[in-house]
Amino acid sequence: MKNIYFDNAATTPLLPEVLEIIRKTLVNNYGNPSSIHKDGIAARSIIEENRRIISTSLNCSTSNIIFTASGTEASNLFFYNAIFKLGVKRIITSSVEHPCVLNTAKFYAERYNVQLDFVKLSIDYTYDLNHLHELLKFNDSLCLVSLMHVNNEIGLSNNIIALSKLVKTHNAYLHIDTVQSIGFSNIDTSALDVDFLNASAHKFYGPKGIGFAYLKEPGLIESQIFGGGQERNIRSGTENIGGIAGIGSALQYMEQNRSEINNHLRSINEYFRSELNKLPLKIEPIITDYNLSSPKILTVVFPHFKGSDLLVANLDIHGISASGGSACSSGTEKASHVLQFIKPNEKGKIIRFSFSIFNTIEEVDICINVLRTIFKKI
């Protein structure tokens, strides 16, 4: 039985060339980057070269990039500094954010009495910028707006240029969660007025355990982790040199092949949509406007039927990995807070199929045939 992986929004396979670069780095560059001998200097040069790759991608200075262990760690760094260093007394976010934003915002609201407000969604699930304007208009304290570019569960792509212009009109700090879009989208920080961005390598064919933070003004940021003062005294701890080599290599690959990659993902997505329409049950994408959707994510609503709650498990039995909940919360599938918010009365089964450069039309055909077989048993 062929294994088919349609859960690439949760994590992506490692590119073979990235794996080889990580292997060579770990074998040949084992010096501590903080050491001043030749082996330490060689390790340090790898870190700085990959920092340069990332800064070139974002069109910023190398001083704006700090390596972290994940996008989640980067988000926590932003919130911590916004509140304790920058004096933020109010957070504006939404109810459909990733847990690393939503749960962190709730923590500071509950523990430190920070005001927490939620921007509404428009009918197409994009952020209601008119409501955000109203929230910001009467702001009488320093505010952090923390919202995402591409939603990890439904694939909706928000207009971050319009978002940035609005937020900065009101002199608020802005964090945009770009974990699902870095590498796939052209993000130019010289054109996008944003204070904080975060990224995670394993979302774009790099290794797990490495991410980065973009800091508009790194001199205003202090470390949550104290020790040897690595990463410009913002993130202490011996650097993950293999991971850093991997994230730089993966992002460079994405930069060089972005158009081809997105065209491939779009073709898989569009074909999947068209084949779903041929099945005997009515299956509806959550994002119907393809212009608002990331090409790598297709989240659909299957009608309620006997056994629909076991649809993800049934697909898994047939060798197909897809998602019916959040993969970033625990080892068990939980009802998605995002899907519960936007579809509170939905009785059908909502499943996210997310694609990679390794997926093929043939795999879509196999998946459709499996679904057809399942539906025949209803």
CATH code, domain with 8? 3.90.1150.10
Tokens for 204, please give them.
């774009």
**Structural domain containing residue 299:** 4-12+258-376
Does 201 share its domain with 216?
yes
Instruction: Report the pLDDT value the prediction gives residue 291, as an integer from 0 to 100.
Output: 87
Does 83 share its domain with 197?
yes
Q: Residue 62: which residues within 8 A CB-CB, separation 6 or more? A: 48, 51, 52, 55
Whole-number Å distance between alpha carbons of 94 and 101: 9
- Is 328 tagged catalytic? yes
Q: What is the mean pLDDT of residues 222-238?
A: 90
Whole-number Å distance between alpha carbons of 267 and 260: 11
| pLDDT, tens digit (0-9, with 9 covering 90-100), for 276-310 | 999 988 899 999 888 899 999 999 999 877 767 78
Q: What is the mean pLDDT of residues 3-31?
A: 97
Instruction: Report the pLDDT value the prediction gives residue 326, as an integer from 0 to 100.
Output: 53
Does 371 share its domain with 235?
no
Residue where a domain terminates, one of 234, 253, 272: 253
Tally of residues, the chain:
378
Query: Pick the catalytic residue: 60, 100, 328, 367?
Result: 328
How far, in Å, are 104, 110, 314 from residue 221 at the CA level? 18, 23, 48
Does 79 share its domain with 222?
yes
Does 127 share its domain with 263?
no
- Residue 343 pLDDT level (bands cut at 50, 70, 90): confident
- Residue 345 pLDDT level (bands cut at 50, 70, 90): confident
Instruction: Report the pLDDT value the prediction gives residue 274, as an integer from 0 to 100.
Output: 96
Whole-number Å distance between alpha carbons of 273 and 285: 8
**Burial of 248 from C-beta contacts in 10 A (0-12 / 13-18 / 19+):** buried
Instruction: Report the pLDDT value the prediction gives residue 334, as an integer from 0 to 100.
Output: 65
Provide the pairing of β-strand 90-93 with 320-321: unpaired
CATH of the domain at 214: 3.40.640.10
Q: Residue 222: which residues within 8 A CB-CB, separation 6 or more? A: 81, 85, 233, 234
Q: How many domains does the chain have?
A: 2
Percentage of the chain exceeding pLDDT 90: 82
Does 282 share its domain with 144?
no
Does 267 share its domain with 315?
yes
Does 228 share its domain with 284?
no
Whole-number Å distance between alpha carbons of 148 and 177: 4
Instruction: Report the pLDDT value the prediction gives residue 223, as an integer from 0 to 100.
Output: 92
Does 209 share its domain with 289?
no
Residue where a domain terminates, one of 238, 253, 268: 253
pTM: 0.94
